[in-house]
Structure 1
Amino acid sequence: MPIDPGESPTIEPDTALGRALVAFFDVLEPVYASGEKGVFQVIVFGGCAVHVHTQARGSADVDVEMASHGYADPAEIVALLGEDAYAFTNEEGVTQMLELDPSFNTTLAPLNEDYESRVIRLMTQSGVRNVEVYVASALDVAITKPGRFGDRDQQDIQALLQLPEVDIAEFERLTREAISYAVGDHARLLGNLNVVLDSYDRSEDR
């Protein structure tokens, strides 16, 4: 479903990785610059989204959902984005790479059904006309994390829950709601959520 950019809050991707994340989509210029194929809108999830919100860890994988591909063939878009890795230099002068994760799918993790209403538009946008880059809200990125729930996912959740815009009660309510219609073992997902809440409570008690 296309996003109305006028209704979305904004965030500035003011790190090397954040800026590279925007430039990553410049490869779509041949498709969208003329305007004949409409507007491309993408929502970033995963480690790159965590980084935009927290400036914590980086990520080489670009996990995205296409909110709108205009009149272009989605397969063509995926092929263009996956053709080459995008190289950039981080703040320490080290060359890093960004690559599309073609296996990413929002149906494989808990995700609240109204997440698109909370997406955040990146203030710095692609230099290509008709290409718009958004990031899932910190709340919604956190909600996806009890799915895989590796060590890094658990660290990501706690970092996101410390942000002032994330309310722990809302996180619990929306995560339980998302788990109720998620694909997979609901008991495992609820158990993971309980681990998250216990860890959060312990951190608040310190």
Structure 2
Amino acid sequence: MHNLHPELTEALGEMLDRLDSILRRGGYEGEPVQMYLAGGMAVHYYCGSRYTDDVDATFSKRLLLPYDQLAVSYMRQDNTASSIYLDPTYNDTFALLHPDHRELSVEWENIGNEHRLIHLRVFSALDLAVSKIARFSPSDQSDILALASRRLFNSEQLQEHADEALGYYVGDTRWIHLNLIQICQDIDLALSA
């Protein structure tokens, strides 16, 4: 983990404390709820390469959450006021994901999982990259390249993992294959420099 923005990690920790408090106030006493982190915050875990405002996550249990209580304000390193929020619109149902993405996720260590009813897990670097191939915005492309530049995977591994994920999808996937070809070429170019 390359934590270039520790204040962002601290804000996420505060969000997890609030989630924990909400579960405890609601009387939850079961096994810890797994929170599976995707998106820019997961890229932050691996690379620390950029700030993000939204926290994209799914959970191992269905939760009724007061989203307005989960926004966390913090100061960036340049003394700019910022905040993060749990994105209530994030849904992995239509995302390009490997069927084993939850099993392949990694625990975010040293963020306090052992003290909370919420345990934070992060998509594997490969699953995170695959999830960004379908939308393929400029920031998605930059995120994939940032992950690859940390040598977390190469183009062949990305191609194989994405092909496995695509095997579980129906519909016109030609454009995803084109995105995959482009990003694999970009990775090869970046890693050969």
What's the TM-score, normalizing by structure 2?
Answer: 0.86
2:12 paired residue among 11, 21, 29? 21
**What SS class does the counterpart of residue 41 from structure 1 fall into?**
strand
**Superposed displacement of residue 99, structure 1:** 1.1
**Superposed displacement of residue 59, structure 1:** 0.6
1:110 paired residue among 80, 87, 96? 96
Listed as ranges, the gaps of 5+ residues in structure 1 are: 1-10
Pair 1:51-2:38 in alignment: no
**Superposed displacement of residue 30, structure 1:** 3.5
| Total equivalences in the alignment | 189
Structure 1: distance between partners of 2:171 and 2:119: 32
Equivalences for residues 37-116 of structure 1 within 5 A: 37-67=30-60, 69=61, 74-76=62-64, 79-116=65-102
Deviations 1:168-199 (A, max 9, x none): 32211011111222365310111110010111
Structure 1: distance between partners of 2:90 and 2:170: 14
Pair 1:153-2:146 in alignment: no
**What SS class does the counterpart of residue 116 from structure 1 fall into?**
coil
Percent sequence identity over matched residues? 26
Equivalences for residues 101-140 of structure 1 within 5 A: 101-123=87-109, 124-125=111-112, 129-140=116-127
**What SS class does the counterpart of residue 151 from structure 2 fall into?**
coil
| One-letter amino acid of the structure 1 residue matched with residue 175 of structure 2 | R
CA RMSD of aligned residues (A): 2.3
Cα 1:94/1:112, change in 2 over 3 Å: same
Structure 2: distance between partners of 1:94 and 1:184: 44
CA contact (8 A) 1:107 1:183 kept: no
**Superposed displacement of residue 35, structure 1:** 5.5
Listed as ranges, the gaps of 5+ residues in structure 2 are: none
CA contact (8 A) 1:43 1:119 kept: yes
CA contact (8 A) 2:133 2:140 kept: yes
CA contact (8 A) 2:2 2:47 kept: no
Structure 2: distance between partners of 1:205 and 1:105: 35
**Superposed displacement of residue 159, structure 1:** 0.7
**Counterpart residue number, 1:188:** 175
**What SS class does the counterpart of residue 164 from structure 1 fall into?**
coil
Cα 1:204/1:167, change in 2 over 3 Å: closer
**What SS class does the counterpart of residue 171 from structure 1 fall into?**
helix
Structure 2: distance between partners of 1:82 and 1:128: 23
Structure 2: distance between partners of 1:149 and 1:99: 22
Cα 1:97/1:36, change in 2 over 3 Å: same
